[in-house]
């Protein structure tokens, strides 16, 4: 066996796939969707900043002026945590393997001297780098646009927490939906139903169901107050039981590691029959 034909180590293989997949992910049509989704809060923050400069309160909720830090907190909750992170997780996570199957290109990857699970891990890391390097700078821009310079010192630790939890959220949703993408035939539909159906419902139902959602653990890490923006928030506040930060971090770590291991196992064992 020649030197090149020897199977690469797991990490080497994952790195090769990462390098290949990162460029593909960044310059795909999905990136336009991601740019629109992640760019909207930045545009909103620019508008808010301009309105604020004219002396008008940019945001009032039921007549109450919302201050800059409050607006930033609302954006983290409503736009990033409840929408952007799950939606990116669904769209990118489910596509990690499913896209290769759909495009009938998975055969080319599987014929390389790389372990199948290394392909999945490499693609997952590429997804994580791609999304975090788009989402986190956007959050940073929103923060500096909204929060007055004099208040940065007081709220900076909260920003660090926000950045950390968004990265963890992207990893958790990405991992889970990568698993969905490897086992399900229509992973996108299942992912959307999970993120915007099951999770929303389970959070407002009393009992233990909420423990089977990712949002339950992610929301416990948010340093901002949950916005009281409707009946769903009211129900959530009534039936809330917030887990500790340690429990949340441990649960999310288990969810990420567990879903990736399961996804890797499925990819290793499954025989992909491509439609002709």
Partner 1 sequence: MTKRTRLFLLVAAGILTVGLGTGLLASYMGVQNLTLIGGNGPAEFAYVPADARAVGYANVRAVMDSELRRKLTDLHPGGDHARSFQEQTGIDVENDIDYVIAAVSGSDPASGGPPLVLARGRFDLVRLEGLARQEGGTVEEYKAIRLITHGDFGVGFMEPGLVAIGTPAAVRRAVDTKSGSATSISGNDELMRLVRDVDDGTVWGVARFDSLAGARLPLELSSKLPAINWFSIKGLINGGVEAQISAEARDDVAAQDLREVIRGFMALARMQIGQNVELADLMNSLQLGGQGKTVSLSFSVPSAMIDALGALRAHRRPEAPQPAPDAPGPSPEAPQRPAPPAL
267 near partner 1 (CB under 8 A): no
* CB 215, min distance to partner 1, A: 16
Cα gap 210→216, rounded to integer Å:
6
Part of the chain binding partner 1 (CB under 8 A), chosen from 41-49, 106-114, 150-158, 247-255:
150-158
The closest alpha carbon to 162, from 256, 257, 85, belongs to 85
Nearer to partner 1, 207 or 230 (CB): 230
8 DSSP assignment: P
Sign, CA dihedral 147-152-154-156, equals positive
Binding of partner 1 by 19 (CB under 8 A) = yes
By CB under 8 A, which span of 112-120, 143-151, 206-214, 268-276 interacts with partner 1?
143-151
Contact pick of 8, 42, 141, 262 for partner 1 (by CB under 8 A):
141
By beta-carbon proximity to partner 1, the closer residue of 198 and 243 is 243
Which residues in 223-262 contact partner 1 (CB under 8 A)?
Answer: 223-228, 234, 237-238, 240, 242, 244-245
In which element (H, E) is residue 58 found?
A: none
**30 part of the interface to partner 1, by CB under 8 A:** no
Contact call for residue 73 and partner 1 (CB under 8 A) = yes
CA distances from 128 to 5, 21, 116 (A): 29, 11, 19
Q: Confirm or reject binding of residue 150 to partner 1 (CB under 8 A).
A: yes
Contact indicator for 228, 78 with CB cutoff of 8 Å: no
Provide long-range contacts, Cβ within 8 A and 24+ apart, for 264-270. 264/116, 264/117, 264/120, 264/121, 265/117, 266/179, 266/182, 266/183, 267/97, 267/116, 267/117, 267/119, 267/120, 267/182, 268/115, 268/116, 268/117, 270/182
Should residue 136 be labelled a site residue for partner 1 when binding is judged by CB under 8 A? yes
| Residues at the contact surface with partner 1, assessed by CB under 8 A | 19, 22-23, 26-27, 61-67, 69-70, 72-73, 129, 133-134, 136-137, 140-141, 143-144, 149-161, 223-228, 234, 237-238, 240, 242, 244-245
């Amino acid at each position: 066996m020649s030197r090149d034909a020897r199977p690469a180590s797991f990490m080497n293989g994952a790195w090769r796939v990462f390098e290949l997949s990162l460029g593909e992910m960044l310059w795909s049509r999905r990136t336009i969707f991601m740019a629109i989704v992640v760019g909207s809060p930045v545009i909103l923050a620019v508008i808010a900043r301009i309105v604020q400069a004219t002396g008008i309160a940019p945001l009032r909720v039921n007549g109450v002026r919302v201050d800059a830090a409050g607006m930033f907190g609302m954006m983290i909750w409503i736009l990033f945590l409840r929408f952007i992170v799950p939606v990116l997780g669904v769209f990118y996570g489910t596509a990690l393997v499913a896209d290769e199957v759909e495009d009938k290109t998975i055969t080319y990857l599987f014929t390389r001297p790389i372990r199948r699970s290394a392909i999945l891990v490499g693609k997952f890391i590429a997804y994580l780098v791609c999304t975090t390097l788009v989402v986190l700078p956007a959050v940073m821009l929103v923060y500096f646009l909204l929060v007055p310079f004099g208040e940065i010192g007081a709220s900076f630790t909260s920003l660090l927490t926000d950045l950390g939890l968004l990265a963890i959220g992207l990893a958790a949703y990405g991992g889970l939906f990568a698993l969905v993408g490897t086992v399900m035939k229509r992973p996108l539909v299942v992912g959307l139903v999970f993120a915007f159906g099951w999770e929303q419902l389970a959070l407002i139902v009393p009992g233990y169901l909420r423990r089977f959602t990712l949002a339950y653990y992610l929301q416990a890490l948010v340093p901002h107050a949950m916005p009281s923006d409707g009946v769903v928030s009211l129900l959530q506040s009534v039936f809330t039981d917030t887990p500790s930060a340690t429990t949340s971090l441990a649960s999310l770590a288990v969810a990420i590691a567990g879903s990736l291991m399961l996804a890797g196992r499925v990819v290793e064992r499954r025989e992909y029959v491509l439609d002709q």
